[in-house]
Amino acid sequence: MSTDTPPGDDPMHADQPVLSMSDVDVHFEKDGGGLNPFADRPTVRAVDGVDLEIRQNDVVAIVGESGSGKTTLGKTAVGLQKPTSGSIEYWGQDIWEAKGWRADPDIPFEQIRRSLQIIHQDPGASLNPNRTVVSSLSAPLKRWKPDLGPEDREARVYHFLKRVGMSPPEDYANRYPHQLSGGEKQRVALIRALLMNPDLILADEAVSALDVSLRVEMMDLMLELQDQFDTSFLFISHDLSNARYIAEHAGGRLGVMYLGELVEIGPVEEVLGNPQHPYTKVLKWATPELGIAEDAAGPPVREIDIPDPVNPPSGCRFHTRCPNATEQCRTAAPEVTSVDGDVDGQAEGDHRVACYRATEDEAYWNSDPLDGAEL
């Protein structure tokens, strides 16, 4: 395929998602810290068996505690981390086949890499402190759009600065990163991603470092520009209120990760209005904006401590904390199943969860509760 042809405009890709992850695992060897360099090092199962599709002009927000694997999942989605197993496809083209052994991929890896962009939590770390804003933003245009002359590049940069509210653009264009506020740096990072006209942007904790007053403003800007550029977002956050806001206002989906697994995903109204996984209920309880904690005696868990991802629990990984766990949960992991939606306009199957309580599994319902748990 010609690199000048956007895959989304090609009829052969009409029914395909922008990005598709199938049974993706990402495992790391952890430094054991011992004196024996030949000793076996423990393996961190950062991502385990995740399936996810992101369509054109889509927003998927992934939320979870620290160590849940959400950032690793995001970096794997945009081709920055190679999976241990499973596949990641961009418009049907396997990303790692395009980069590796396949001599003539349908979509060249350079085009894939340009179309999958990222905004980091700390934009200052990704901006060259010795370059002005206009210099930093012109650099990718020089590489990817060599047909543009210096005046055209500058005009495009100025247009984007004005579009994100950095006016007069001539003033901001000649500043260095240390002369920008955190919110202004994040806007520059967003411009740099959008200059590539990407199909998907990974926003990895992109608003968590901002003042609370600026977070909503930044998320609103991302959504405005999404409509303009027909871009999809994979939004990663440890804060359920942020993840809910952007997914809800985009009409997107909210996904919940726990110890490397995507345990629940669906429309925001379904996931938060009718949560099916007990961990989703814990996150909802722990989010003051949702007004749950003040009406409850305590978090809906049996144990507070999170297990070690190096040695995750058998069966359902949440069973060590779940208030409704049985012997079946301890011995066998539940499959991801669809939940019948009860929100108008949502198709059946949009809401999925990995929990026995969402099914009629007889082995679970006939199994003995674990200590401290009840059906």
**What does the domain layout of the chain look like in residue ranges?**
281-375
What is the C-alpha separation between 64 and 236, in angstroms, rounded?
9
| Lowest mean pLDDT across 43-52, 138-147, 255-264, 311-320 | 138-147
| Residue 31 scores a pLDDT above 80 | no
- Span 274-292, mean pLDDT? 88
> Which residue would you say has higher pLDDT here, 347 or 220?
220
pLDDT tens digit sequence for 207-258: 998 988 899 999 999 999 998 899 999 999 999 999 999 999 999 999 999 9
255: buried, middle or exposed (CB in 10 Å: 19+, 13-18, 0-12)?
buried
Q: Report yes or no: 367 and 326 within 8 Å, Cβ to Cβ.
A: yes
pLDDT at residue 261 above 50? yes
Q: For residue 1, what pLDDT is reported?
A: 44
Q: Quick check: helix, strand or coil at residue 154?
A: helix
pLDDT for 348 equals 47
DSSP string computed for 254-270: EEEEETTEEEEEEEHHH
What's the pTM?
Answer: 0.91
**Nearest of 224, 10, 229 to residue 117 by alpha carbon:** 229
Q: Is 2 a residue whose pLDDT tops 60?
A: no
User: Quick check: 330 pLDDT over 70?
Assistant: yes
Please state, in angstroms and rounded to a whole number, the distance separating the CA atoms of residues 287 and 119: 25
What is the pLDDT, as a whole number, of residue 84?
97
**pLDDT tens profile 77-136:** 999 999 999 999 999 999 999 988 666 889 999 999 999 999 988 877 778 999 999 999
So what's the pLDDT on residue 100? Answer: 82
| Across 189-210, average pLDDT | 94
pLDDT digits (tens, 9 = 90+) for 293-322: 555 567 888 877 788 888 899 999 999 999
pLDDT at 45 over 60: yes
